[in-house]
Structure 1
């Protein structure tokens, strides 16, 4: 280090300042120089030896603080935050403990449905690209067959979209179970709260008169909880079967229709003559135009006459009355009668009817909705609507 004594004294007042002690540590000597020798540098908080330039090299930030701009796969793209706050995540945190698991299932199914819909759109685009490519080859056979294959591939993609719509119905049934679980959670919490209060009072004030009141409240809470638990059990079992009846029937229908379309697509491939030729020769003209059209016609006929044939799902929930209780009495129903509808022997998946398709076919799908509406539910809705109408008339 350069000696402090060699530093020129530019101010008379500096001559009276104490000189740097060689026993000072290195850091103290630098601070001494910055304070008394180079006061301009001290004003900005820099302790720089006199023999070094006043400009300091740019300090590099640690790796974890450096900007990641431009380090991604695409230029100018900002990396998305790892954890994003959305309204959906807020709803998830507010779900009762009893319905959190089913809430996650329903949310995950929503993502899966979106993936099926996206796959259907991509498949339709691929089918169109295949047709355009075949036309660009200037090969009559490839052009004709690729166009027909594009039609069948687009129809296969359309089945994915129909399947996604069926899964939406399945999600809707699961939501009924979730809503029931959410409504049961308060009764459980209330019963637990009353029990805890009784235990605290018995420990702190065994002679308190409030214990008797709380015990009576506990009896009422347990009775309400028993009713709520029975309703939850009945609704869960019924809607569980109904939801997955929708799910698996839709899965079978999609698979069987796609099998039909794939088999006819393989028939089209047999119309392509791939016999090798020598240089200078040309393939004979495509003579299977009518056969290719017949393949599409057969595919239309098979889809038009398709009927879903699955093993029936038996249900005994037809006598479920008002309040999700078996044989609940309903006003207008005689004594000894039950308010539930006849017990259905099975449920049948109802397919979505489409008016158009890429192959110009309309589906005739017959089926009854699973778990028909019980008479008790209909009467209950009518009773709820009557007071509303009276209130509106009074207003």
Structure 2
């Protein structure tokens, strides 16, 4: 049975649905930029909008509001009039809040029990909620650390449904908690949970299929988040498990092709990056790879391998080059055609989240540094840098028009370009 919220959401949902329309379908007088899922509109950290200013100083980038929160690694979800954030309180409760986009004022809050103790070698990165939610204009989909997916009414926070994957599928709880960020496509939502890949009806939470199962526990819980792309004319789900990269049929969950990706302790974390009919990935303990998919054949051919190793930061692609933050904390530019590094920098922090616009990259280092970079394959070109938080900034930043939403470990802030 589908939840019908047209009467209670008529005005609110209309605004949000309009905000999700293509630019050509919106009024030129009032475009509303949003960030409704992991890595932005197309799940590739590429954005359009007004040109970014030439500097990050207080003259060009000003803090508008900041709200204290409990710890979380979830990136903010930015709708037309509100921002959805998560937190873990007292190491035992997961909380979701809706904040007014312009002021940071709390609109609603909902919570549920949710906590897990991650393995000792990951303790330094915390036991709190990790997954970035997704929003379809009416419903917010939040993955809790204990392998649950909760669907909330975006207007008031009321729970519509929830699925506990450990109970429903019999899978073991993931050792590192649920990390994958849900993906909405039409009437369905996809997530790597239940020690596999799951497709659900987004209105009811009914599981349509459950594939790519690999046992759960230490090596069964995926770190990566899926994307949907068309390769060789076939629309498919691109998924990276702890062991392999795969293309999956949306309707059936059938594995179309797969390629083993070597990694230390299964640290395949990056979101797969599709470039034409090829897929790029990079793993901790493995290397960087570009695979080309043969038309009509269920195989992936390795086009090249580079020894540089990615870690947690998914790359951005600009003008024939891959810009990737590495396991050794350095930043690299890789030529797509040859697989060779154009350059590699000195070390920065452990993790970057990046957003690209044209030939500009905005990178948020986990040490609280914001960097504005020109994408230049000839040399690393840092335009400006600004320290914006003394707290760790592991969550993915969001850029919506002239607004920047930055989630530090214990606060959510909104900045505005000037």
Normalised by the length of structure 2, the TM-score is 0.19
Higher fraction of helix: 1
Which one has more relative contact order, counting CA pairs under 8 Å at least 6 apart? 2
Normalised by the length of structure 1, the TM-score is 0.19
Larger Rg, first or second structure (1 or 2): 1
Higher fraction of strand: 2
